[in-house]
Chains A and B, each alone.
Chain A
């Protein structure tokens, strides 16, 4: 490994009651790398992202951001580390009490103490970079379509120019064309910022487009990891089954909650 790790996860464990979701997971993202984590529903992808973001406390294991252990930080320290992050939520999670521009500028105003006028200018700029005009900035999030909400959420995630961006199922619920638009925007934004990116998806078209590297998670562990080009010749029967979307294979979907 030539580049230093941006995120380094070691031996991460998390259970909910008797259900083990993360089972000693090891995972790395290098500086400037875009990693896509694929895996079936309930395989622990979202929990991994939430643990990295500190939204969930893991039961055991370490998470280092730029070499700094972050799982036991105080809330003040946590806020400092969070400034390195941008997050695009699956549900967009826009603040419906605020107009669109204030949503985009939120991190600048609250997290970084920027002035409102200055932050609004930056927000309009970022909205333009995801293909939305300044008039959209004055609307409420509830007035936007799903695709537009995702774009606003993307603008919000990149507005404070984070070093690490996490995308949680960025294309879920969008039509194929809008999915591709979002994928292009993600690639462009990540490249422009020079950020490291972690994306969670089960949309293979999206994964191929966004990723430098793809990692597959199954039963709380990373079972395969390789470059995007390698995924079609992985020789791993789990990966094969997943990317071809076959119901038969080594992966048994848990139809019943355990």
Chain B
């Protein structure tokens, strides 16, 4: 084969692989969603996943939100003080945290924590025949494994983000009032003045989408993992990487839709 031909062939092969993977992922998503709305739903398992995904993610999400709010106040202050616009610090912190940083930072942290855990657990179940064993015991693996994680992810992330919003704004307040010498009462007043339901709701909508995507990527790569320990490791990596990338892509798309479109 000519070098040029070989180059084109390899580009084509990659394109085909990407399209095939996208198709498989699409089919998996459709199947998963269709099982979400058809009984039976295992509520016990949804509850257990809610505790795993929501409750146990609180410390890590809370801590990152706190420091994000703190550093945001500090950076905004150093930047804005050169225009004598320090008074904008509370509103900048509030808007950044509720609209963007709350959902995105929480999303990325949960993708690392939960996306990886889901992919590793389902992947191990796949390579040790446990998923096949479910089928032989008249239990649909989609209903038993995938649906509870998707539902719990979609419910838990908005709640986590609400808490992250509060902690993030509080972090900004801490730095603002103790380090930057804002009047605490005035800081709180400005924050309340600039608070808009739409911003918080938009952040929560983003969080729900991110939660779904994180659980979906974990389930998809775990469910389809092949080839022992190495396969499970690869599945975990793919799940976290693709969930993180999708979060950033979807964040842009949702921002364009929710804020600019209005």
Contacts and interface: CB of A to CB of B under 8 A. Distances in A.
Interface of A: 50, 53-55, 75, 79-80, 82-83, 85-87, 89-91, 93-97, 106-107, 110-112, 156, 160
Contacts, number: 57
Given A110-B138, A110-B144, 6 more contacts: A50-B132, A80-B138, A93-B129, A95-B125, A110-B137, A160-B137
A110 B125 CA distance: 18
B135 A107 contact: no
A87 B121 CA distance: 22
B139 A110 contact: yes
Nearest to A54: B135
Contacts of B135: 53-55, 82
B16 interface: no
A170 to B, nearest CB: 14
Given A91-B128, A93-B128, A111 B133 contact: no
Interface residues of B, number: 14
Given A91-B129, A93-B129, A93-B130, A83 B138 contact: yes
A160 to B, nearest CB: 8
B79 to A, nearest CB: 49
Query: B interface, by DSSP: helix, strand, loop or mixed?
Result: helix
Contact of A82 (B121, B130, B138): B138
A209 B216 CA distance: 47
Nearest to B136: A87
Q: Quick one: which of A50, A80, A107 has the most chain B CB within 10 A?
A: A107
Contacts of A156: 137
B75 interface: no
B140 interface: yes
Contacts of A97: 121
A55 B126 CA distance: 12
Q: What 5 A-B pairs are tightest by C-beta distance, nearest first?
A: A111-B138, A93-B129, A87-B136, A107-B137, A93-B133
A54 B132 CA distance: 10
Interface string B216-239: 000000000000000000000000
